[in-house]
């Protein structure tokens, strides 16, 4: 996790699947909780990854703090569209620019 302009940014790279859920859960929920999650490096995401993002968003709302998802990779966009969950996160879906 990095700090940019006073806010904690969590950069997720590689697979965001059930096989790494235990690794990501504390990063998403424990203090200091991120205010932004960069999904540009996600190569694969499954329902476990989506559920963790939903839990993080729900926890942020409960704590009355902002949590934004940014840099949606093609894998994330595909799964969000398939599951029709984009509105849940209320963030604009912006695909990360390819280098």
CATH of the domain at 31: 3.30.750.24
3-state DSSP percent of the chain in helix, strand and coil, to 5: 40, 30, 30
**Measured between alpha carbons, how far apart are the two ends of the chain, in Å?**
21
| Residue 82, domain member (yes or no) | yes
Range of the structural domain that residue 47 is part of: 2-89
Within a domain: 6: yes
How many structural domains comprise the chain? Answer: 1
Beta strands in the chain (DSSP E): 2-4, 7-16, 36-45, 68-70
Q: Quick check: is 99 in a domain? A: no
- What pLDDT digit, counting tens, does each position of 25-52 carry? 999 988 888 999 999 999 999 999 999 9
* pTM reported for the whole predicted model: 0.84
- Cβ atoms of 34 and 2 within 8 Å: the answer is no
In a domain, residue 95? The reply is no
- The answer to the question of residue 97 being in a domain is no
Task: Say what the pLDDT of residue 95 is.
Answer: 52
In a domain, 94, yes or no: no
């Amino acid at each position: 996790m990095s700090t940019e302009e006073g806010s904690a940014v969590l950069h997720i790279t590689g697979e965001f699947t059930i096989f790494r859920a235990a690794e990501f859960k504390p990063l998403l929920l424990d203090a200091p909780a991120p205010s932004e999650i960069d999904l540009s490096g996600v190569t694969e995401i499954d329902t476990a990854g989506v559920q963790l993002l939903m839990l993080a968003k729900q926890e942020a709302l409960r704590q009355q703090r902002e949590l934004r998802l940014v840099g949606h990779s093609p894998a994330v966009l595909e799964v969000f569209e398939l599951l029709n969950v984009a509105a849940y996160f209320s963030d604009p879906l912006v695909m990360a620019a390819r280098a």
